[in-house]
């Protein structure tokens, strides 16, 4: 019943918005959903434990920087629900190869770790992912409803 009420609120609030860009400001820990350069929705987000700078290799706990695409939704995620970011691109792969390591992958916008959603008031206060972008579960429901597969995501410090 709670989810239905949330969905009705979201639909009535944003029924005319078409999100064409997700913008991430890592320095402010903010996510903005934009429709024609107008901010429609804003979220506080969590990153990996080492967020400053561009992701270069697997395990560096960084979130990539640049323009990517949100290319598929994942409903069977270990982190509630998720949407995949198209990292690594060819430049990321070439850079990692040149430096002799793996670029990593599976970078997502996702909710809380399964069965721990009630802790989001605590977990969202610090950076806890391995390089992904985390929302609360209710925010993730809203995000998945508002953002279509194929939407660009611009991530910067």
Q: Which domains does the chain have, with CATH numbers?
A: 2-156 (2.40.440.10)
Q: Does the active-site annotation cover 132? A: yes
Please identify which of the residues 15, 44, 84, 132 carries the catalytic annotation.
132
Is the Cβ–Cβ distance between 133 and 31 less than 8 Å?
yes
Is 110 among the residues known to form the active site? yes
Q: What is the pLDDT of residues 64-101, one digit of tens each?
A: 999 999 999 999 888 889 999 999 999 999 999 999 99
Position 127 scores a pLDDT of: 87
pLDDT tens for residues 8-58? 555 555 556 899 999 999 999 999 999 999 999 999 999 999 999 999 999
Q: Which residue has the tokens 């070439």?
A: 94
Catalytic pick from 44, 54, 84, 110?
110
Which of these, 37, 33, 59, lies nearest to 48 by C-alpha position?
Answer: 59
Task: Say what the pLDDT of residue 128 is.
Answer: 81
Q: What is residue 2's predicted lDDT score, i.e. its pLDDT?
A: 62
Question: 75, 144 in Cβ contact below 8 A?
Answer: no
What's this model's pTM, rounded to 2 decimal places? Answer: 0.85
């Amino acid at each position: 019943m709670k989810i239905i009420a949330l969905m009705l609120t979201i639909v009535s609030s944003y029924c005319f918005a078409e999100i064409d860009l997700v913008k991430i400001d890592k320095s402010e820990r903010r996510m903005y959903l934009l429709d024609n350069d107008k901010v429609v929705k804003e979220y506080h987000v969590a990153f990996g434990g080492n967020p400053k700078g561009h992701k270069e290799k697997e395990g560096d706990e960084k979130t990539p920087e640049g323009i990517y695409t949100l290319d598929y939704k994942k409903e069977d995620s270990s982190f509630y629900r998720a949407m995949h970011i198209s990292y690594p691109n060819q430049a990321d792969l070439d850079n990692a190869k040149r430096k002799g390591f793996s670029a990593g992958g599976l970078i997502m916008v996702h909710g809380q770790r399964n069965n721990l959603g009630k802790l989001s008031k605590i977990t969202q206060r610090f950076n806890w992912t391995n390089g992904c972008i985390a929302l609360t579960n209710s925010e993730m429901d809203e995000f998945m409803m508002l953002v279509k597969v194929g939407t660009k995501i611009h991530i910067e410090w």
